[in-house]
Each structure stands twice: as C-alpha cells, then as structure tokens.
Amino acid sequence: MRGVFVTGTDTGVGKTVVSAVLVSALRRSRAVGYWKPVQTGIEEDDDTAEVARLASCAPQEICNEGIRLERPLSPHLSARLAARPIRLDRLLAIKDRLASDRYWVIEGAGGLLVPLNDRRLISDLIAAVGLPVVVAARSGLGTINHTLLTVEALRRRNLEVAGVAMVGEPNAENRRAIEIYGQVRVLGEIPRLISVDPAAIEAPAAAWSAARLL
C-alpha cells in the first residue's frame, strides 16, 4: 500500500483540511484516494464528505467504509456507549480492499494516542497500516511542545514521520523550531482560511504539488 496517514497534535487542529490539501496536491501527479477509518460525531462532522467537497473528489477517490459513531467523543467511549466496539481487524479488512493503484491519504481521529478500545490506540492502527505519518499541527503558541511530543512518540514506536503540516497564520520561528528541535521537515503551511471551500485550498495544494512534498 502507498500513501500517508494524517494524525494531529490534538483534536481540531486541521487534519481534515490538511488531508484535502494533500489529496488535491498529490492528484496532480498520481491517482489518489482518501479514507477516514473512524469518525465520531458523524451527525455533526462528516470528514469524508468534507474532504470530498474541498478536494472535488470523484466517487472512486473516496472510501466511505469504516466505523461511524454518533456521539462526538473519543472513539473508545463513543463506541462503548453505542455498544459497537472498534476492532482493528475489521478496519484492516477494509484497508486490504482499497485500490492498490492509488496513493491513499488516511485520516486518523484526534491525536496519536487517542484510544480506539480498551487495548488499542490510533498509534496501533498506524503501525498496522504501515504508512509514513504526516503530523497536522497548529502554527501558533504551544505548537512547538505539542508537535515535538507527537514526533517523539511516533519515533519511539518506530513509526516513520513523513513531515509536519502547519495550519494557521504562518509563524517562521515556530516552523524553524519544529524543524531544528524535531529534526523533521515541515512539508508546508496552510494559512487561516476566510472561507473553507475548494478555491481556498487551491493555492496551498498548488504550492505543495510544485514542491513535490511526498
């Protein structure tokens, strides 16, 4: 399988926008696909539909299979309350059915150490999928610590870090600190978007494509 797994330094940092930009950027040089294995709060947030909208995805570029839970909580708790435990083997069975001729952008739920069930974390899903990881991070105050912690946790688990994507007002000092102290590449930055629509992600997608980021 070819692709990347997008995780975040926290929930709400912009993983879905990063995923949409990646899909749009990578599509310019290869066949792509997007998959969100686990989604909570599905009635309020449908990240799959959002990426499809932002990246103007064709039906064959989207996999809509996976765990879909109503309550906007941590996956393990939302699944427990719904009496629908999340099983890693079921998610991997879906992964095995993904088209092998596509480069897949897989978006996680929350951050790296978010629990899926009583034993497994998002990091276990990443390890099982076996793809390099793109870390979505805020650009503002606090991001250095949060990003370096996430990068360190990935490396301690022998998970490959493809790079960091920063979301928000560009901050050159924070970017430099993450690259130096984390010994990691910042793939690109997505400025704060006034309106989150397909046109708004076109500029960062074009820049990332031109830079051949992955």
Q: Tell me which residues are annotated as active site.
A: 36
Torsion of CA 108, 113, 114, 118, to 10 degrees: 120
Sign (positive/negative) of CA torsion 61, 65, 66, 69? positive
> 2 is written with which tokens?
């070819």
Q: SS3 sequence, 14-52?
A: CHHHHHHHHHHHHCCCCCEEEECCEECCCCCCCHHHHHH
As a 3-state breakdown, the chain gives helix, strand, coil percent values, each rounded to 5, of 40, 20, 40
Kindly report the backbone phi and psi dihedral angles of residue 191, in degrees, each rounded to the nearest multiple of 5, phi listed first.
-65, 160
Judge whether 159 and 133 are in contact, CB under 8 Å: yes
Q: Which of 6, 109, 104, 25 is nearest to 62 (CA)?
A: 104
Q: What angle do CA 145, 149, 151 make, to 5 degrees?
A: 120
